[in-house]
Amino acid sequence: MATEEHDRERRQVFGDDAEQYDTARPGYPDRLVEDVLDFAALPASVPAVEVGAGTGKATLAFAARGTPVTCVEPDARMARVLRSRCTGLPHVAVEVADFETWRPDRAYGLLYCAQAWHWVDPAVRWARARAVLRPGGAVALFWNHWDLEDLRLAERLTAVHARYGLAVPPYTILDPRPRPAGRGPRARQWREMEADGGFAGMEHRLYESAHERSPSGLIELLASFSGYRALPAALRDRLFRDVGRAVEQDGGSAGVRVTSSLFLARSRA
């Protein structure tokens, strides 16, 4: 129970500065969004549901292609930014609710979740997915995983953390452990869907991209991760000051590789 409560608290920290999160986080590849919609093959009248929509980083990409979307977001602060981003999009509805207890009034042809499925209670998430989908409905779960292109800079920034007695937070851009992006059938998401027995036609796809971050841009990205948001503000500010200085001394920018990992499946008829 303590772990579940901790996870619930961690997933709520993103709303502490929802605008900052929206600015810092990159979106998702156009090809990924198109592949999801091709896989789902939604009839025009059948909507999609987005779980943990946040501030709309994925929502806008699907809505721009005309997909009717119901967004389920547990944090009212994130939902407030989401609604502002979706002004003028009548085919996007926003509901503030936990997916675990949300009760839809219709069946959906596509359930997608960007960067948030791991926050949904594992005891019920697959049963809830099956409950909201019509037979044959599609599931699309995707994440961005980041790495610094310059390993030497990554080592310097890790040393900055060590000076403050801090380990690099897990699943962040400096985490040296292998990313789960390429695991395919060995990934937890795949194995859980197989074990649930309610899904078929599973696929895994990867998308690669890269961009440059200024010192402040890299700090903004770090600040969007829950492991950094959970630090005491004064300590976090000192850490980020030294991170920025290290990037400045290393040429003034940091190359970031992004691997977008997509899991697809269909609910069994």
Q: What is the DSSP string of 5-49?
A: HHHHHHHHGGGGGHHHHHHHS----HHHHHHHHHHH---TT--EE
**What was the pLDDT predicted at 21?**
60
d(CA 6, CA 213): 31
**What was the pLDDT predicted at 91?**
96
Closest CA to 233 of 241, 201, 185: 241
The residues of the chain scoring below 50 in pLDDT are: 1-11, 13-16
Give 268: exposed, middle or buried? Use CB within 10 Å, 0-12, 13-18, 19+: middle
Number of helical (H) and strand (E) elements in the chain, helices listed first: 11, 7
Place of tokens 């310059």: 150
**What was the pLDDT predicted at 229?**
87
pTM for this model (two decimals): 0.88
* Cβ contact 67:93 at 8 Å: no
Domains of the chain (ranges; CATH) run 2-267 (3.40.50.150)
**What was the pLDDT predicted at 209?**
93
Q: Which stretches of 107-214 are DSSP H helices?
A: 125-132, 151-163, 188-196
**What was the pLDDT predicted at 196?**
96
d(CA 244, CA 230): 19
**What was the pLDDT predicted at 80?**
92
Q: How does strand 254-267 pair with strand 133-148? A: antiparallel
Quote the crossing angle between the two packed helices 233-249 and 215-223, to the nearest 10°.
Answer: 150
The rounded Cα 123 to chain-centroid distance in angstroms is 20
Average model confidence (pLDDT) for the chain?
Answer: 90
**What was the pLDDT predicted at 8?**
45
Helix, strand, or coil (residue 269): coil
